[in-house]
Each structure stands twice: as structure tokens, then as C-alpha cells.
Amino acid sequence: MAQQEHSSEINNSHALKKTFLQCTIASFRNIFVFTKVLPFIGGLVASYKFMELAVESTLMDYLIDSTDDLRIAAIITNLYDALSSILFVFVSLVAEAYMGCFTTITLCAAASIQGLMLLWTYGSFSVNLAYAALFLLALGKSGQNLSENFLEYQLEEKIKVKKERELEHGSRQNKTEQNHFKTRSNFWLFLFHPVVGYVITVLISLKVNDDNIFREATLLMGGTLVFFHFGYVGYRRENLSEGNLRKIYRICKAAFGKRKSKYPATANSYYWKNYKQGHLYELGEGKGLRLYPNVPRLFRWLDKAAIIKEECSDPEAQEKKGELCMVKEVREVKSLVPMMYLFFSFFAYSLLLGSGSTFFVAQANDMKSITGDNGNDIWRLFLIMSGMNKMSRFICFIISFSFRRSRKFKALDGRFKIKRNAGTIIRVAFGMFCAVICSLVAWKVEARRLKVNKENDLHHPGRNNTVTLIPQFALLGTSEGLVDEGLEKLFLGHVANSMSSFEDSYSKLVIGSGKLLIIPVVLIFRNCWFKKKVNDSRLDLYYLMLGIFNAAFLVVFGYYSIKYACGEACSGDEEDLMEHTDEPVSQDSLGENHHNEQPQVDQEENSQEDLGRNQEGILPHPFFNPRKGGVRNLTLGMELHAG
């Protein structure tokens, strides 16, 4: 008997190992989804990566040689970064609402080619033409994110078609598979975006000097743009929709026109238009009904955009005139408000990123090169920084993918979204902590560099070569990889699904606005910390200030993330949180729901466990805490809609 039990345990162990191995292989096999248009778009993505590493990384070095002033070069470089972020917001909105990604990418790539040609032919002769070239490059840089998004869209469409052919088990399984679309498309972006771009950068930069790098970038960008058009027939076109900026403008305009109106006492005074009633709360007795989510007083007036005028009996006429908006649209725009408060906690981090493309480069320009060419050392340092950026993203990708494939995590996925958000917050906080360490490391390295220059220490010449800058560049890349993607996940987890396309624009605005702060900092401290030459400046004190600021803003981020993020439900799934329609239910879905439904007692117990939820299944905004009793929740119109 003992031998039989032992042999059965061994067989079970082998069976479990075999099953686990088969599931793992199947999971990774599903990641490798190829589409014919992948090389056409991937080539353009790789050329943008080369331009980022070989051209933009040496921009500060180029401006220092042209202007012979550290302060002017730093201001121009950060203006370029901020301008590229602002232009991306407008370009992405135009692509979404009017032109589409293909046409917009073509125009942006053409602008990049024109800017590179100006730097190639006239950049060393005319300063004004160099500034015009920088403007064109800032405009063309928008095509980098758009081409990545376009590649991701093509992969997702390919995966959807593939799954529609394979799956025949109803909508629930399809929805589960759709959760992995972004995972698979991100894998290809990991492959094309860094690896191919890195290989091209190394092969070209090792053989070409700095004077000809603009020529090589021009030829590469032009060739990949032509190749991008070869795949035109196979591209899937995305549907144009109303831009988010236009929607925000309509709601603000309608709300401002009714700013003196009082909040209604009944739900019927709001313009629901086939949208389920009940997303209401009362801030105080006699103060009227407000719409969820509950936001600070500065933004509560947005609710008035959905209030129907008493003197007008036709709401649709008001809507056509732009005087009235639907409740659904108002709630979608209000979901952006919590992220606006998180916006301010990234200023110090953005300052560090701006310093990485300016003062870090100025340090490398003045230090001894291990290759005999400082320009080559600069792109190598940026290659290390970008590699650490992708490595940190890839590690988080593997961890997230492993948890999503776990059965235990799948069982908790529907009920503990707040814990997933907490994991994203921890990721961002760790990235900001890396920013603190990066600032302190840069402070020590710069202090040692100034000391060696001052004492003319010939006994330790290795202290002033570019190898000593590797730790701060690596830490900056790690911080950027953790914070940037974590910020995107926070945004997607807390805004309405219809506003998710604003994700890249939000990240660009956060980082670009922070980089603009370097300009007043340089102007204020131009007589003490920032001088004309880097050796006369005190960048070590500036880095120390950055370390203190990043530590302080890390605390601010922790406060705002707990107050605005942890207390609010993930609103990305509009079908569960916001959409309530009366569409008929198919027989297949009825059979599936009957198979998976739970007893009514269990549903009541689950509703009691979710203490923070209101009766619509939506978590109130963090300002609303039912345990503290600050706001009284009203449950209006809670009748169930029969399918």
C-alpha cells in the first residue's frame, strides 16, 4: 500500500509539472502573434528610436558648442522637450478626431526628415535655421508615440480576428481573452522598439562621426517612411471619434453658462438620455443633488452642464445648441479630476528628467571619454539609460503577466481591483524613490568631479571619466521605466473608458510641464548655481536640491494616491460601472449566466462585504466615506432592468 501511495504521488507530481509546463508554453506561444504589417510599422518605430538615442541625446552637446553658454543650451533643450510634449497633445487629438493615425504619422515623419535635413546641411552655419530645425523635430517627435500606438492597434485587431475564429464559447471567455490583447502587443513593442533600434544605433554610431549623424538619421527616417507606405493596403483603419478636448470644452462651456443655476432637488432635472439614474449624492440638506464622482469644490460646477433648464421643455434642442450635455459625458469628464491632483506630485520627477537631457549631458561633455570621443560616450550613456528603462518595464510586465495567468489571481480579479491599483501605486512610488537615489548619486559624482578639477588631481584620473556617470544614468532609466508606465496604468484605472485615449497626452503634459520648470530655476540661480561654463557652476547643489524635492514630492504622491486613487474604483470597464442599457440578452449569454450564477444569499453577502460601494456597484469618490458619514448617498431609480 505504501509503495502504491508513493508511486501515485510521484505520478501526480509529474502530471502537475507537465500541466504547468504545457500551460506556460501555451501562454508564451499565444504572445507571438505575427501580422504582415508588423515590419512596415516596426521599421519606422526603430528609426524613431535611433533618432532619440543618436540625435536628441546629443542635442545639449550640440547647443553648448553652438552657444558657448550652459544656461542658454539648457533653456533651449528643455523648451524643445516641453514643446514636443505640447505639440503631441494637439497632434494626437487631430489624429483621433479628423485625420487618423496613418496620415498624421506621415506628416510627423516628414517634419522630422525636414528638421534633420536642415541640421545636416545648414545647422553649423545658421543659428536661426537650427532653431527652425528643432521646431520641426519637436513636431515630428509626436509621430513616435503615434506609430507605437498604430502598431499596437494593428496587433490588437489581428488578435481579435484570430480569437473570433478560435473561440466559440460565448462572450465571457472572449472578454477574458481580450484582457491579454495589450500584453501581447506590448511584447512586440518590447521587441521592435528597443532591440532593433539599439542595434541600428550601435551599428551606425560606431562607424559614423558626429558631423555625419544627421545625414544618416535623415536617410534612415526617409527610407523607413517609404517602407511604411508599402504596407498601406494591409493597415486596418481606426474609426474617427469626437476628440476628448472638444468634449471637455463643450461641458465646460455648458456648465459655465449655467454657473448661477441651483442644483436640482430631483433626479429628473438632470439630462439622463437612456442612461440609468442613480449616480447621485446630496452634499448637505437642501443643497441639491450632485453627480458622482464627488470632486473638490473647484470642479463641482461641472454638474450644471447636465441640468435641464426649467423654462425649456425640449432637452434635445438645448443639447443641439450646446447648452446641455448628457450625465454620462459629465461623469466621464469628471473622472479626470483625481488625476489632475496627482499631476502636481510629479513636478520634481519631471525636473530630474529634464536634468538628464541637459546637465547630465553637460557633465559628460566635460569629462574624459573612455573612447576618445565624448559624443560617442553620450549616446552610450543614453543607450544604458534606455536599456534600464526597458528592463524595468519588462520585469514589471513579466510579474504582471504571471499574476494574470494565475488561477488564484483570476479569482480575485473581479473583487479586489483596489489592490491591483495599490500595486501600481507601489510601483510608481518605488520609481520615485529611485529618482531620489539618482539625484543623490549625481550630487556625489558632481561634487567629486569639481573637487578633482579644482585640485588638478593627477593621481586619480579615473574619477573624471564618463564611466562614473553610468550609475546615475542607469538609475534615471529605471525610474523612468517604473514611473511612466505606472502613471499610464493609474490613469487607465481611474478614468472612464471613453477617456482612455487621453492617456499618452496626460503623461506628456505631466512630464512636459515639469520640464518647463527648469527655465525659471536656471534664471533664478543663474548667478550662483548655473554659470556660463559647467566647471564654474555648482550643479552638485542643484542635484542635492533635486534629491530633497523628489523625497518631499514622494510623500505628496503617497498622500494624493491614497486620497484620490486607492479610494476609487477602477472605472475602465464602462460596461459594468457606467453603461446600463435595455438591450435584449441572447440565449447563449442567458445559458452562460444561468450556469455561472450564484444563489441570491451569496450575492447579498458579497454586497455586504463591499462596504465602500453604493447600490449601483460603483465605489464613491475618496471624498465620500460612508464610515465617516461625510456625504449622504441617495439611491434613486434603482429598479433592475430586465433583459
Per residue in 33-58, pLDDT (tens digit) is: 556 778 888 888 888 888 888 888 88
Closest CA to 15 of 4, 25, 7, 27: 7
Average pLDDT of 330-337? 82
Model pTM score? 0.75
Confidence of residue 331 (pLDDT cuts 50, 70, 90): confident
Burial 200-210 (b: 16+ CB within 10 A, else e): bbbebbeeeeb
The pLDDT assigned to 110 comes to 93
Distance CA 367, CA 361 (A): 10
Spell out the residues 6+ positions from residue 630 whose beta carbon is closer than 8 angstroms to its own: 623, 624
Confidence of residue 440 (pLDDT cuts 50, 70, 90): very high
Distance CA 306, CA 319 (A): 9
Portion of the chain with pLDDT greater than 90, in percent: 12
* Residue indicated by cell numbers 505606472: 486
Per residue in 238-279, pLDDT (tens digit) is: 777 766 777 888 888 888 888 777 877 777 777 777 777 777
Closest CA to 563 of 253, 345, 416: 345
Residue 180 pLDDT exceeds 90 = no
Burial 131-142 (b: 16+ CB within 10 A, else e): ebbbbbbbbbbb
Distance CA 331, CA 619 (A): 13
State the amino acid at position 184 in one-letter form: R
Confidence of residue 225 (pLDDT cuts 50, 70, 90): very high
Average pLDDT value over all residues in the chain: 73
How many helices (H) does the chain have, and how many strands (E)?
27, 3
Closest CA to 59 of 220, 195, 214, 203: 214
Structural domains of the chain sorted by starting position, each given as residue range(s) with its CATH number in brackets: 30-241 (1.20.1250.20), 244-334 (no CATH), 341-581 (1.20.1250.20)
Per residue in 457-473, pLDDT (tens digit) is: 544 555 678 888 999 99
